[in-house]
């Protein structure tokens, strides 16, 4: 396979991905267990961002070109915000689907990410939990990873980078949602030809989750503690939540689809190719094309997959 010399090869990126994953599950997990906000800052900036930028710089790759640090218009920025707003229920639905299936086999545990209960904590959460991953993780995944995987074609680069993004969360309960968002951000990145658009989208998605958690906490603080009269059996609650969220996800997903279609593209060729991806007709043909990842290139990813299942199931069953 011939790689673009202006971009890191797939093997280079996969090896770096493995190294960062090892640092994440060791040093990152340790510092987050000590103090979550400081740990997240260390994880995002020192474990994810610094190695990515350092690798590109040391090896002479153009940071601007590999990360697509191009300007976006106000219209693009606004549309990205609305695309993410309407896509959020879809991502939540995918995660709920995964949790519903997992609940039949394993113990489901709450996310370790802190939920703010005061406005000060909310602002801190925005800076650490919403904005910071929106910058650091986008530089790694929609930046370096997609740039190197572009040698396989735009559609494959979107799919593979989204899968790596989902695995990187090291939480089977939070796998399907990030993969969906990874695909969404990949499409946005190609249509706008700018990483700034996906930084805005990623930050917006995390801000929505943070805001919902904050508002739920404030609502709970103002409600009566006696809720038995309106409580329902857990099974019925789950079915109603699943059906309700599914309907909401379908409606909002269709709106997001329409918004993606009208999102201005940087050039017409890219618009046609990515719109074809959205429509899906040439996707199977593209994914079954001659270009693929070799065994050597895939070895670092296989190691990460093994780490993923070991990390997750050890966490669930102990």
Block means of pLDDT (10 residues each) for the chain, length 318 residues?
A: 70 98 96 94 98 97 95 96 97 90 74 85 96 98 96 95 96 92 97 97 97 84 46 60 87 97 76 53 46 89 92 60
Task: Tell the burial category of 106 from Cβ atoms under 10 Å away from its Cβ (0-12, 13-18, 19+).
Answer: middle
What local confidence, expressed as pLDDT, does residue 220 receive? 67
What local confidence, expressed as pLDDT, does residue 2 receive? 40
Output the pTM of the full model.
Answer: 0.87
Give the integer Cα–Cα distance in Å for 133 and 131: 6
CA 168 and chain centroid, separation: 9
Give the integer Cα–Cα distance in Å for 157 and 163: 10
Give the integer Cα–Cα distance in Å for 62 and 65: 5
3 state DSSP class of 42: helix
Task: Tell the burial category of 17 from Cβ atoms under 10 Å away from its Cβ (0-12, 13-18, 19+).
Answer: buried
């Amino acid at each position: 396979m011939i790689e673009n010399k202006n971009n890191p090869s797939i093997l280079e990126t996969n090896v770096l991905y493995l190294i960062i994953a090892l640092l994440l599950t060791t040093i990152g997990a340790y510092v987050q267990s000590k103090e979550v906000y400081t740990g997240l800052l260390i994880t995002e900036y020192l474990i994810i961002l610094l190695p990515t930028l350092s690798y590109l710089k040391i090896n002479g790759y153009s940071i601007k070109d590999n990360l697509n640090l191009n300007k976006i218009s106000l219209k693009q920025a606004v549309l990205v915000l609305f695309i993410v707003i309407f896509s959020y229920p879809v991502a939540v639905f995918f995660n709920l689907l995964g949790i519903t299936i997992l609940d039949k086999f394993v113990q489901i545990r709450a996310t370790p990410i802190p939920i703010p209960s005061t406005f000060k904590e909310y602002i801190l959460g925005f800076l650490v939990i919403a904005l910071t991953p929106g910058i650091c993780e986008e530089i790694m995944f929609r930046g370096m990873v997609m740039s190197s995987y572009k040698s396989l074609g735009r559609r494959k680069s979107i799919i593979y980078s989204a899968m790596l993004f989902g695995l990187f969360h090291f939480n089977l309960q939070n796998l399907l949602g990030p993969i969906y968002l990874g695909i969404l951000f990949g499409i946005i990145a190609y249509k706008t030809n700018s990483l700034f658009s996906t930084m805005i989208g990623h930050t917006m998605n995390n801000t929505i989750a943070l805001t919902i958690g904050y508002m739920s906490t404030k609502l709970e603080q103002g409600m009566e503690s006696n809720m038995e009269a309106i409580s329902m059996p857990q099974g019925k609650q789950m079915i109603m939540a699943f059906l309700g969220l599914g309907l909401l996800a379908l409606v909002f997903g269709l709106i997001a689809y329409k918004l993606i279609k009208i999102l201005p593209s940087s050039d017409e060729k890219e618009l046609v190719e990515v719109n074809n991806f959205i429509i899906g007709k040439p996707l199977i043909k593209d994914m079954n094309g001659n270009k693929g990842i070799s065994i050597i290139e895939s070895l670092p990813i296989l190691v990460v997959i093994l780490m993923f299942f070991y990390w997750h199931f050890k966490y669930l069953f102990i």
